[in-house]
C-alpha cells in the first residue's frame, strides 16, 4: 500500500526534557523513513511514542521501533511507548521484543514514569 501516510506530531511532555511523538497512521515499510527521521531529530532526554493513532504495524515498523530504541539507548536517552492497540501489542509480544520497551497504557503514565 504505497499510498499509506503517517502524520507525526511532536509536542513537549509534562516534565522538562520530554518529547511526545504522536503517530497517526500505520507504521509500515512505506512510513518508517519519516518515523526514523522524527526520532533522530529529537534532542530531549526522554521520548514517548504515542501509538493511539496507529492502527497497524508491520515487521518493518517493528524493526524501525527497535532501531529507535537502540539509537536512543546509545545516546543514554529514554524511550517509552504508550497507548498501543491490541494488534501492535500482540506483534511486540509474539516477536519477543516487547520486553525491551517500557510500555504504558496512557501518555500520562509514561510522562510520570520518565524522569
The ranges assigned to domains in the chain are 7-113
- Cα separation, 82 vs 47, in Å, equals 11
Q: Is the pTM of this model over 0.85?
A: yes
For residue range 11-47, list pLDDT tens digits in order.
998 887 899 999 999 999 999 999 999 999 999 999 9
Element (H, E) at 113: helix 107-113
Nearest to 2 by CA among 21, 20, 23, 28: 28
For residue range 34-92, list pLDDT tens digits in order.
999 999 999 999 999 999 999 999 999 999 999 999 999 999 999 999 999 999 999 99
The domain defined by 7-113 carries CATH number 3.40.50.720: no
Amino acid at each position: 500500500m504505497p499510498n499509506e501516510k503517517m502524520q507525526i506530531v511532536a509536542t513537549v511532555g509534562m516534565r522538562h526534557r520530554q518529547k511526545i511523538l504522536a503517530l497517526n497512521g500505520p507504521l509500515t515499510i512505506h512510513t518508517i523513513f519519516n518515523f526514523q527521521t522524527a526520532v533522530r531529530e529529537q534532542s530531549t532526554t526522554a521520548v514517548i511514542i504515542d501509538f493511539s493513532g496507529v492502527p497497524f504495524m508491520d515487521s518493518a515498523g517493528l524493526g524501525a521501533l527497535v532501531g529507535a530504541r537502540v539509537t536512543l539507548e546509545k545516546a543514554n536517552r529514554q524511550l517509552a511507548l504508550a497507548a498501543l492497540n491490541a494488534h501492535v501489542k500482540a506483534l511486540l509480544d509474539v516477536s519477543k521484543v516487547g520486553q525491551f520497551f517500557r510500555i504504558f497504557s496512557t501518555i500520562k503514565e509514561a510522562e510520570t514514569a520518565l524522569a
